[in-house]
A and B are shown apart, each in its own frame.
Chain A
Amino acid sequence: MTRRYQRLVMVLLMLGCVSLAVGFALRAFNGDLLYYITPTQLYEGHAPVRGQFRLGGIVEKGSVTRIPGSMTVRFTLTDFKHTVPVVYTGILPDLFRVGQGIVVRGRMVSGIFQATQVLAKHGAKYMPPGIHQPHPSPNEEKMLALKRDLGEGTKP
């Protein structure tokens, strides 16, 4: 084995390893390694039946009700295909409002998501209050906002 031949083999092996690595990375990103799942993914059975997990979605319009005299709030999270009812007791973040992207942590108990933590996701958009109304009604624009908020292109 000459030295040059040896070097050539070495470089080829390195390239082979790197391309295998890239291949596996691409396959991994087709899967669902996520910080949270969406209501649709929940309905497709991507969540543990009993364990805790995180659910991300938009707070549905007209769904927020507070139980008087307590810190308990009920609302539904939606991704405009499926909705999940959520109940939470505690302090909500400043950005919690209708039409806002929210990540809740907790578990499903008989069809209702019992949240132990509510986190507000804010978009990458910044603008003065006059230009943009917080809740534009057309569904399409909301879908776009949701896609942006929930991180587009990560779904399988």
Chain B
Amino acid sequence: MTQFSLFFHRLASPPHFYELSKPWGRAFSWIALVLILVGLFGGLWLAPRDFQQGNGFRIMYVHVPSAWMSLFVFMVMAASAFVGLVWRMRLAYAVAAASAPLGAAFTAVALVTGSLWGKPMWGTYWVWDARLTSELILFFLYLGFITLNRSFEDQQTGDRAAAILALVGAVDIPIVHYSVDWWQTLHQGSSFKGLTSEIAPSMLWPLLVMMTGFMFYYGWLVLWRTRSEILLRESDREWTKRVVGS
């Protein structure tokens, strides 16, 4: 076995993960804090006004990272669900369960900030175009996942049932992402085409910093929440009693 796969096998063992996640989570939290503060300062003070939207465009620095995270977290959930169902890895289920409320929160923030942005710029809080509708459906899918996961007496049944839902619901992800290309929507197209962007560099860097910051923020919270999900799932094990008792 190579060093690399050995690393992953050890990571998949809940007690090992529990130990490892503590320093990692702490590191992630500091990185996230620094990046988000820098990104906010860059976005709200350093970046120039937009030629069309004036200062109003600055809500982008929260809206775009949240919307991006709402898709990313669901992909993480679907991937962990797949790993859980195929390789029966308990840790994967814990990650999926820990991710769902975070993803739902990111989706809610994206929807709310989008609405607040839409009122002055478009002239309305809400339209039923393909992008907004599919993002709303994504929010409902998160709620469905959370509810299903917690509905069974046996947590393992809940995990597996919710995993199937996550895999089926993953069809919504490409729909959200490509909706602005497939349909003529009120929502503008993506500002990123491959590696190039239609955003001026002076406005782009705070956005990229914010996006990275949000990734680390999610990384921190998901590690932290996965720890408690593991404790919940392994509550009758020796090592859990040792960890909690000490």
Chain A residues near B (Cβ < 8 Å): 29, 33-37, 56, 91-96, 100, 103, 117-129, 131-132, 134, 148-154
Assess A127 versus B203: contact at CB under 8 Å? Given A34-B183, A35-B130, A154-B184. yes
B19 contacts A by Cβ under 8 Å: no
18 intermolecular pairs with C-beta atoms under 8 Å apart: A34-B183, A37-B184, A91-B123, A92-B123, A94-B120, A94-B123, A95-B122, A96-B123, A120-B121, A123-B189, A124-B189, A126-B199, A126-B200, A127-B200, A128-B200, A129-B50, A152-B189, A153-B181
Query: With an 8 A cutoff between CB atoms, is B188 at the interface?
Result: yes
Are A128 and B189 touching (Cβ within 8 A)? no
Residues in B with CB closer than 8 Å to A37 are 184
Question: Are A117 and B124 in contact, CB atoms less than 8 angstroms apart?
Answer: yes
Q: In the bound complex, how far is the Cα of B175 from the Cα of A4, in angstroms?
A: 35
Residue of B nearest to A150 (CB): B184
Which of B29-37, B52-60, B95-103, B139-147 participates in binding chain A?
B52-60
A114-B77 Cα distance, complex, nearest whole Å: 47
The closest CB in chain A to the CB of B200 belongs to A127
B50 CB contact (under 8 Å) in A91, A121, A126: A126
Chain A residue with minimal CB distance to B127?
A119
Contact, CB under 8 Å: B184 / A35: yes
Q: A154 to B184, alpha carbons, bound, how many Å?
A: 7
Q: Provided the pairs A119-B186, A124-B191, A154-B181 are in contact, do residues A129 and B122 lie with their beta carbons within 8 angstroms?
A: no
Q: Is B7 positioned at the interface, with any CB of A under 8 Å from its CB?
A: no
Number of B interface residues in the complex (CB < 8 A): 33
Does B183 contact A35, Cβ atoms closer than 8 Å? yes
Indicate if B177 sits at the interface (CB-CB under 8 A): no
Q: State in angstroms the CA–CA spacing of A127 and B200 once bound together.
A: 5
Do the beta carbons of B184 and A129 come within 8 Å of each other?
A: no
* Chain B residues within CB distance 8 Å of chain A: 48-53, 56-57, 60, 120-124, 127, 129-130, 180-186, 188-191, 198-200, 202-203
Instruction: Compute how far the CA of A36 lies from the CA of B185 in the bound complex, rounded to whole angstroms.
Output: 8
Considering residues A35, A37, A117, which has the most beta carbons from chain B within 10 angstroms of its beta carbon?
A35
Q: Are B51 and A120 in contact (CB under 8 A)?
A: no
Residues of A within 8 A of B190 (CB): 124
Q: How far is the CA of A93 from the CA of B186 in the complex (A)?
A: 13
Are A127 and B199 closer than 8 Å at their CB atoms?
yes
B79, chain A: closest CB distance, angstroms? 20
Contacts of B121 in A (CB 8 A): 93-95, 120, 122
Residue of B nearest to A34 (CB): B184
Q: Is the CB of B198 within 8 A of A129?
A: no
B189 and A148 within 8 A (CB) = yes
Please, which residues of chain A bring their CB within 8 A of the CB of B200? 126-128, 131
Using CB atoms, name the residue of chain B closest to A96. B123
List A contacts of B182 (CB < 8 A): 29, 154
Q: Is the CB of A95 within 8 A of B48?
A: no
